[in-house]
């Protein structure tokens, strides 16, 4: 029981320490990309949400951006498209802490 309680507290503290978006517009040449350290199954929720808000046909089977055909590449494309379409507020590149803002062009 003590181990479980200690583990639960450490998880809650880690989540509280995660950087939160400030609501500011991000200027300059920046992209919103899927965090490469995040496991693939963690990206699906953000990918589903973003695709419910923007057109994701480019990553579908016949789309122009289907390759590389993996969830990190698809999530990065969709996250960035959503981020750019939503006026580049930092909170539009959050996706439950599975994305990050990069100054390196992912293409």
Please report, for residues 65, 81, 85, 92, the alpha-carbon distance to residue 34 in angstroms, rounded to integers and kept in the order given.
15, 12, 17, 12
> What pLDDT score does 87 carry?
85
Q: What's the pLDDT score for residue 14?
A: 39
Q: In this structure, how many other beta carbons lie within 10 angstroms of the beta carbon of residue 90?
A: 18
Say which residues have a Cβ less than 8 Å from residue 45's Cβ, sequence separation at least 6: 95, 96, 98
According to the model, what pLDDT value does residue 11 have?
36
pLDDT digits (tens, 9 = 90+) for 31-69: 999 999 999 999 999 999 999 999 888 777 777 777 777
- pTM summary value: 0.73
Residues listed for the chain: 107
**Locate tokens 């122009």: which residue?**
64
Coil, helix or strand for 48?
A: helix
**Higher-confidence position of 96 and 66:** 96
Find tokens 């199954």 and name the residue.
41
Question: Where in the chain does DSSP place strands (E)?
Answer: 31-34, 99-102
């Amino acid at each position: 029981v003590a181990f479980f309680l200690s583990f639960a507290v450490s998880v809650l503290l880690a989540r509280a320490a995660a950087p939160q978006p400030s609501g500011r517009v991000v200027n300059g040449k920046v992209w919103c990309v899927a965090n490469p350290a995040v496991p693939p199954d963690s990206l699906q929720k953000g990918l589903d949400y973003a695709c419910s808000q923007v057109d994701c046909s480019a990553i579908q089977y016949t789309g122009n951006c289907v390759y590389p055909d993996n969830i990190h590449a698809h999530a990065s494309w969709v996250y960035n498209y959503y981020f750019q379409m939503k006026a580049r507020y930092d909170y539009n590149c959050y996706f439950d802490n599975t994305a990050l803002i990069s100054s390196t062009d992912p293409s």
